[in-house]
Amino acid sequence: ELDALCRELRLDPFEAEEESTILQMEKDLRTRVQVMLKQKRDRQQELKALQEQDRDLCDILCVSPFGIDSNAVPSLEELDRYRRHLASLSAEKERRREEFVSIKRQVILCMEELDHTPDTSFEREVVCEDEEAFCLSTDNIAALQNLLQQLEARRSLNEAMCMELRSRITALWDRLQVPAEERESFAVHMTGSRAKTRKALQLEVDRLEELKLQNMKSVIQAIRVELAEYWDKCFYSQEQREGFSPYYDEDYTETLLQLHDAEVGRMKNYYETHKELFEAVQKWEENWKLFLELERKTTDPNRFANRGGSLLKEEKQRAKLQKMLSKLQEELESRVQAWEQEHEDAFLVKGQQFMEYVAEQWQLYRMEKEKEKQERHLKKSRQIEAEMMYGSTPRTPIKRRVLTPHTPGKVRKLNGTSISSATPNSTVRSAFGATLYHSPTSRLPPSGGKLGQARTPSRVALKPPRPGHREQNKENVSQLNGTTLSGGCTPTAPAQRNYSVSSVASTYSEFA
């Protein structure tokens, strides 16, 4: 019996001690048999429990049971291997359970967004049945993933359709100039992608399309404004714009509207496809305009009067712009060449190839600078000719002396003319409109009176000049008629005061 148990338990045969008595040997054998019988029962019970656990896991995971002889007593190695196998199945079960729960949650959300009710047995089993009853087989998990992918594809398609409908609604609102109050009332449907939301969006599009047909002219004009914006963004030349003849058609029909819609769609697609390149060209264009503006400021003569270091800032900005323009030009040249090689077509900017357009802008800039230079030379030469012919004009204004009241000096009569002098800077009151003439140099009073001594002027009667004095002062009279006195003013003598010219001339001859 002991040998049979050893073979069943796959143990080494029992060897009794030679020195022990027969009774002691019998006792040891019986004890050994009982121990081995207990080991046999324990192994069989553990095997049974492991097999029950294995069946449960296999039913849930839909896998084959562990290969072991149920009638034989398992060895310790077999039991250990069986336990490790069941632990692996338990871990796989938990992993599949978590995956199932996660996918099920996403499936339910997609069905809710799509307003979809489970219509197949598998969908009902996933959504409606107990999670513990669901078979976590690899086929079921794969089918569940496939269901989720289908629902997500439908949801993505639905979202794309809703987004497209919202874009159409926004465009139609802008074209039809729908008031903000009406837009806000529909704002609840401008988010989400449920089936009822898509239905509401489709109804709004249909309503706006009907309204568009009723307001054909205003809609086409709004589309033309949008089309012109895309032409500007794509740097279309006037010739390219004129190539779309419906733009200039005044017969506002549905066909014309369709042509404009198609052209706007084409231009929008063209711009979006090459948006990065157009934005780079736009950046170069903006920097070029700023560079030209700074160049125009350099010709402003008033720029030197600016304070606060603005002149230095402009010079630094202009130098920075020159470097940036050169860098942008090099980058754009390589990108345009790559674009032309890829599309096998010329990249046009305002009807020209980009590098030709840039070269033309620089050429126009140089021509403008040369023209300004020639105009400056011409202006300077004309100024020199005018100065040679008429004399130069002082650029710095001469500060004139302010007339101050003088104390009348001694009055004396000379050839019937009254003269008053009190200070070295004496004045002469002539008959020419009572105009004052300052003497060019400081002289003592002709009367020889003392400085600082004030005298009261006396009234003297004007006497007609004698013939001798008239002949002597003809030269002085002629000079007075055509030459300004030292004050810088040319008096005009009235006709009735010609009789005092000789007296003024004789007095001026004293100052001269």
3-state secondary structure 329-388: HHHHHHHHHHHHHHHCCCCEECCEEHHHHHHHHHHHHHHHHHHHHHHHHHHHHHHHHHHH
Residue 420's SS3 state is: strand
Residues 266 and 302 in one domain: no
Rounded distance between C-alpha atoms, residue 480 and residue 464, angstroms:
19
pLDDT, tens only, 239-289: 889 999 999 998 888 889 889 989 999 999 989 988 888 888 888 888 888
> How many residues are listed for the chain in this entry?
512
Q: Closest Cα partner for 243 from 220, 221, 222, 266?
A: 266
Mean pLDDT estimate for the chain: 73
**Phi, psi torsion values for 306, nearest 5 degrees:** -70, 145
Helix axes 195-214, 216-233, angle to 10 degrees: 110
Mean pLDDT, rounded, for 56-75 = 74
Mean pLDDT, rounded, for 186-196 = 85
Residues 377 and 419 in one domain: no
For the full predicted model, state whether its pTM sits above 0.95. Answer: no
Looking at 255, 273, 291, the residue that finishes a domain is 273
Contact 73, 8 (CB under 8 A): yes
Residues 223 and 166 in one domain: yes
Q: Is residue 122 part of a domain?
A: no
Residues 203 and 291 in one domain: no
Q: Is residue 132 part of a domain?
A: no
Residues 258 and 298 in one domain: no
Q: Is residue 155 part of a domain?
A: no
Phi-psi region for residue 295, left (φ > 0), alpha (ψ -120 to 50) or beta?
Answer: alpha
Residues 287 and 269 in one domain: no
3-state SS of 79-131 is HHHHHHHHHHHHHHHHHHHHHHHHHHHHHHHHHHHCCCCCCCHHHHHHHCCCH
Q: Where are the alpha helices (DSSP H) in 114-233?
A: 121-127, 138-176, 180-185, 195-214, 216-233
> What pLDDT does 7 receive?
66
Q: Is residue 233 part of a domain?
A: yes
Q: Is residue 28 part of a domain?
A: yes
Q: Is residue 147 part of a domain?
A: no
Q: Indicate whether 205 pLDDT > 90.
A: yes
Residues 334 and 420 in one domain: no
Residues 269 and 286 in one domain: no
Residues 257 and 304 in one domain: no
Return all residues near 37 (Cβ < 8 A) that are at least 6 apart. 5
Instruction: Count Cβ atoms below 10 Å from residue 329 Cβ, excluding itself.
Output: 16
Range of the domain at 348: 281-387
Q: Closest Cα partner for 364 from 310, 433, 459, 291?
A: 291
Mean pLDDT, rounded, for 69-83 = 74
Within its chain, how far is the Cα of 207 from the centroid?
A: 36
> What pLDDT does 237 receive?
87
CATH number of the domain that 329 lies in? 1.20.58.1520
Looking at 223, 242, 273, the residue that finishes a domain is 273
**Rounded to 5°, angle at Cα 424 from 418 and 428:** 30
Number of domains in the chain: 4
Q: Is residue 107 part of a domain?
A: no
Residues 423 and 474 in one domain: yes
pLDDT, tens only, 357-380: 888 888 888 888 888 888 888 888
Residues 263 and 293 in one domain: no
Rounded distance between C-alpha atoms, residue 337 and residue 105, angstroms:
52
Rounded distance between C-alpha atoms, residue 158 and residue 435, angstroms:
99
Looking at 50, 74, 98, the residue that finishes a domain is 74
The more confidently predicted of residues 396 and 234 is 234
Residues 363 and 326 in one domain: yes
> What pLDDT does 206 receive?
93
First to last CA, the chain: 169
Among 149-158, 189-198, 488-497, where is mean pLDDT lowest? 488-497
Q: Indicate whether 495 pLDDT > 70.
A: no
Q: Is residue 137 part of a domain?
A: no
The more confidently predicted of residues 247 and 468 is 247
**pLDDT tier at 475 (50, 70, 90 boundaries)?**
very low
